[in-house]
């Protein structure tokens, strides 16, 4: 592993830890500000929507400007938004719509950060190590998700959400330090200036490439359906913890940590699984397991049962998500990789945002448990897309003479 990649991995883990704690604190804080499942579900929507709105621009900028400088700007922006949330929460001035607005602003920085970050990591490894690099990046996030929610839930219960928001603001210093240590010669020098015209031309080139790649379009369609239908479990988990299980912030953190632990374990085995089993068959099995676990979460009334289901859901979810990600990148040439990653992130985060809003609205109509259960049932229907839209190009044999 390149020393620069290792340093960024450690820095990213620390920043992810702060972000996961922040997300758990924001979701639980909303349950104390309102009883509306719709508003609680909109917390996830507010965090994910900016990637849908600005992800393409972030991908274009990734291919046009120095990636390290772009990432530094994004880190400073997110640090400022997290600090502002901490101040407002500390003063007791944070209301539901103010919380959602600040989460949107924080997500704008993330929309620029994510394509730049994933592309920069690929700059530090060779193409044959791409799957391993994506898995390591996922391990960093899911390792943070293993412990972050439990820590965040404990801190919210003991010292309040404002302290957690402040800790997240401080965590961005870790990434800034890691970026400072990346050797300049490893960061490609852009050939064009990032003028508004260049950004529009870059977006047009990326869009034409996407239109001409039915394989990538099919992968993005599968990703969209998976996140759109499976997002209900994240959006409504705070309500399930509060109303169905009767737990506090610590119990909610435990459920999220169970998911994170499962995701971390799953990510560790992804390289081995990819080498031994057909990708689409593996994803189909993982998808059905995840969907079944979501149904269990929607119907469960035992904390142990729901936590166990979240653990298995995390293990299977990461198998589906990472294989979608790796397949998109493997099909992308270097010149358009930043924009292709932005299309993937736009699909992923946009579907998560829309699905969370829909889940919250449905929960207002028919109840939280029924909404999550329907989410799992529809998610399982995604297996019918696999044969029509494979993750890898089918291998055809020449007819025997």
Residue 140 and residue 146: Cα distance in Å, rounded?
10
Q: Which pLDDT score is estimated for 377?
A: 96
Q: pTM, whole model, 2 decimals? A: 0.71
When comparing pLDDT for 273 and 376, which is higher?
A: 376
Q: Which of 116-130, 208-222, 386-400 has the highest mean pLDDT?
A: 208-222
Q: What is the pLDDT of residues 160-207, one digit of tens each?
A: 889 999 999 998 888 888 787 776 655 556 555 656 677 677 778 888
Q: Residue range 323-340: average pLDDT?
A: 79
Whether the Cβ atoms of residue 133 and residue 5 lie closer than 8 Å to each other: yes
When comparing pLDDT for 118 and 385, which is higher?
A: 385
Q: Which pLDDT score is estimated for 288?
A: 97
Q: Residue range 345-370: average pLDDT?
A: 88
Q: Which pLDDT score is estimated for 126?
A: 60
pLDDT at 135 over 90: no
Q: Residue range 290-319: average pLDDT?
A: 94
Residue 99 and residue 381: Cα distance in Å, rounded?
34
Residue 397: pLDDT band (50, 70, 90) is very low
pLDDT at 369 over 70: yes
Whether the Cβ atoms of residue 41 and residue 265 lie closer than 8 Å to each other: no
pLDDT at 393 over 70: no
Q: Which pLDDT score is estimated for 400?
A: 38
Whether the Cβ atoms of residue 54 and residue 211 lie closer than 8 Å to each other: no
Range with lowest mean pLDDT among 76-85, 347-356, 364-373, 390-399: 390-399
Domains contained in the chain, CATH given? 3-185+193-385 (1.20.1250.20)
pLDDT at 127 over 70: no
pLDDT at 50 over 80: yes
Helix 96-123 × helix 3-33 angle, to 10°: 170
pLDDT at 259 over 50: yes
Residue 394: pLDDT band (50, 70, 90) is low
Q: What is the pLDDT of residues 206-222, one digit of tens each?
A: 888 888 888 999 999 99
Q: Which pLDDT score is estimated for 84?
A: 95
pLDDT at 401 over 70: no
Residue 5: pLDDT band (50, 70, 90) is low
For the chain, the average pLDDT equals: 83
Q: Residue range 78-85: average pLDDT?
A: 94
Q: Which pLDDT score is estimated for 123?
A: 66
Q: Which pLDDT score is estimated for 196?
A: 66
Residue 398: pLDDT band (50, 70, 90) is very low
Range with lowest mean pLDDT among 36-45, 117-126, 239-248: 117-126
pLDDT at 122 over 70: no
pLDDT at 132 over 70: no
């Amino acid at each position: 592993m390149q020393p620069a990649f290792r340093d960024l991995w450690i820095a990213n883990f620390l920043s992810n830890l702060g972000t996961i704690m922040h997300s758990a604190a924001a979701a639980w804080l909303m349950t104390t500000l309102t009883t509306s499942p719709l508003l609680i579900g909109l917390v996830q929507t507010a965090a994910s929507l900016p990637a849908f709105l600005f992800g393409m621009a972030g991908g274009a900028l990734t291919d046009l400007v120095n990636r390290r400088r772009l990432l530094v700007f994004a880190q400073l922006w997110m640090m400022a938004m997290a600090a502002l949330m901490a101040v407002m929460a500390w003063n007791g001035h944070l209301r539901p719509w103010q919380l959602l607005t600040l989460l949107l602003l924080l997500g704008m920085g993330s929309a620029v950060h994510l394509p730049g970050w994933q592309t920069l990591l690929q700059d530090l490894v060779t193409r044959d190590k791409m799957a391993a690099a994506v898995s390591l990046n996922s391990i960093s996030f899911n390792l943070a998700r293993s412990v972050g929610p439990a820590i965040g839930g404990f801190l919210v219960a003991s010292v309040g959400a404002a302290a957690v928001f402040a800790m997240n603001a401080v965590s961005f210093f870790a990434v800034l330090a890691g970026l400072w240590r990346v050797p300049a010669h490893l960061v490609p020098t852009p050939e064009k200036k990032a003028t508004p015209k260049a950004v529009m031309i870059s977006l047009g080139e990326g869009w034409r490439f996407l239109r001409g790649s039915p394989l990538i379009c099919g992968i993005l369609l599968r990703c969209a359906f998976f996140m759109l239908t499976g997002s209900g479990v994240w959006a409504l988990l705070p309500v399930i913890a509060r109303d169905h299980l009767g737990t506090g912030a610590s119990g909610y953190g435990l459920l999220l940590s169970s998911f994170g632990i499962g995701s971390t374990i799953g990510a560790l085995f992804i390289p081995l699984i990819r080498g031994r089993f057909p990708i689409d068959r593996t994803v189909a099995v993982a998808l059905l397991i995840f969907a079944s676990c979501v149904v269990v979460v929607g119907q469960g009334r035992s904390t142990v049962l729901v936590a166990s289901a979240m653990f298995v859901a995390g293990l299977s979810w990461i198998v589906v998500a990472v294989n979608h990600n790796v397949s998109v990148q493997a099909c992308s040439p270097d010149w358009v990789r930043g924009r292709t990653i932005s299309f993937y992130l736009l699909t992923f985060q946009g579907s998560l945002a829309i699905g969370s809003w829909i889940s919250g609205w449905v929960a207002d109509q028919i109840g939280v448990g029924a909404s999550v259960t329907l989410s799992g049932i529809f998610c399982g229907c995604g297996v019918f897309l696999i044969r029509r839209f494979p993750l890898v190009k089918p291998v055809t044999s020449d007819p025997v003479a």
